[in-house]
Amino acid sequence: MAVTTANQVADYMLCYVFDRGLYLTNLVLQKLVYYAQAWFLALYDEPLFDDPLEAWVHGPVQPELYQRFKGYRWEPITERPDCPTFSDEVKAHIDEVMSVYGALTGYDLERIVHSEYPWRNARDGLPPDEPSNNKILHEDMKAFYAQMAEG
């Protein structure tokens, strides 16, 4: 069983940026949630959340989370959620993801995930503009990012 949900991770990330006077778009939030999951799998050998991630055209997406924020389109998310309480380990993990990836643009994050194996493998050779609901496999994320951590 996973530690939390994708929605709670997103809520924490939104609290993180609001506390710093920053913002997130849905596009960026999707990639940050993906990286939180991927690195948690690689480092702790278990999922951070059970919600599936899919290999959409612009990168990894958690569909229910996307639906929650799709009304913002490309604009910053202004919803101020209640901030979830996590263990120190989970907080530190998400904080690290935010410190490494949080300042990148949506374009930068999209470009990075498009170059990485888990998303590419889930796309299974589809043309770049072909819609897909293919799942990004936990095994692919775990193996790819564990190898990155070793290097």
pLDDT over 90 (residue 138): yes
Percentages helix, strand, coil for the chain, rounded to the nearest 5?
A: 60, 5, 35
What does the pLDDT average to over 125-151? 95
SS3 at position 60: strand
Question: Which residue is listed with tokens 């910053």?
Answer: 76
How many beta carbons lie within 10 A of that of residue 50, not counting itself? 13
* SS3 state of residue 56: strand
First-residue to last-residue Cα distance in the chain? 29
DSSP string covering 121-135: HHHTT--TT----PB
Q: What is the pLDDT of residue 50?
A: 97
Model confidence at 151: pLDDT above 90: no
Give the position of tokens 């770049």.
Answer: 128
Q: What is the pLDDT of residue 1?
A: 74
The pTM of this model reads: 0.97
Tens of pLDDT, residue by residue over 99-122, are 999 999 999 999 999 999 999 999
The whole-number average pLDDT for the span 143-151 is 94
What's the CA gap between 107 and 112, in Å, rounded?
9
